Amino acid sequence: MKGSSHLVVSTGISLALTALIQPSLTPMAAAAAVIGSLLPDLDEPNGLLANRTFPKAAIRALQVVILLAAGAVVWLTSTQYPWNWAAGSVIGLTAFASIRWLRTLLMLIVGGALTVAGVIYDTRLSAAGLTLVVSALAPHRGFTHTLYATGLWTAALYWMAPDELSVPIAGGLSYLLHLLADALSQRGIQPLPPIPWKLRVPLMRSGKFSAAVVETTAVGFTFILVWIVFVQMGHWRVWIGF
């Protein structure tokens, strides 16, 4: 399923269900649902969330920094010729790696920096940093597509907003719905590794007509559910405090 479809389906359904379970729905819960709908695909450097969080402008900036670092190595270790040129060349060549590889590198750098900052200032920064590091190192549809990751994300949301139950409910449901949507593909997911069981209901294949049908149906169902819950049942009032 495309990132945009995950965004609409997981966010819409999770907020509708949360409104039924926990009427005190808040903007923070909506934000948690939006992030949760895309977070599992953070392990895909070219995914929607990674692209928006680390855009091409950031990649270009990283390339400039790498080239400057290569030049600094050559200049500052000039007495070590020719090894300084060899080291500088290796560092400089990484600036011309693929966008995918550079985005992964940037995720590791930012994740590491946030982890260290969290140790000094706020442990929530460490949580965000470790999430980036794990996502960058994990294979696609690996750890981030498990029930363990779902539980950790939900627990983290509860830790950040213990007085707003709609936040972990909406965010956790949205994350789980992303996994269930991916289970409809040919590849499926392995929700409880190392148990070699795959949750797979192969209704669609990426890039095929079946994927368009399933995604269109899911988006349509989402809009109907949102209309029923927030308009016909009147749950839209929670957004303005009625």
**pLDDT per residue as tens digits for the range 7-39:** 999 999 999 999 988 777 888 999 999 999 999
pLDDT of residue 93 exceeding 70, the answer is yes
Please check whether residue 76 lies inside any domain of the structure: no
pTM exceeds cut of 0.75: yes
| Structure-model confidence comparison of residues 239 and 141, the more confident one | 141
Domain ranges, residue 241: 1-44+140-242
Please check whether residue 51 lies inside any domain of the structure: no
pLDDT at 242: 46
Please check whether residue 186 lies inside any domain of the structure: yes
* Number of domain units in the chain: 1
Please check whether residue 55 lies inside any domain of the structure: no
Half-sphere exposure of 52 (CA within 13 A, CB side): 10
Please check whether residue 119 lies inside any domain of the structure: no
Please check whether residue 226 lies inside any domain of the structure: yes
Please check whether residue 72 lies inside any domain of the structure: no
Instruction: Give the pLDDT confidence of 110-138 residue by residue, as tens digits.
Output: 999 999 999 888 888 888 898 889 888 88
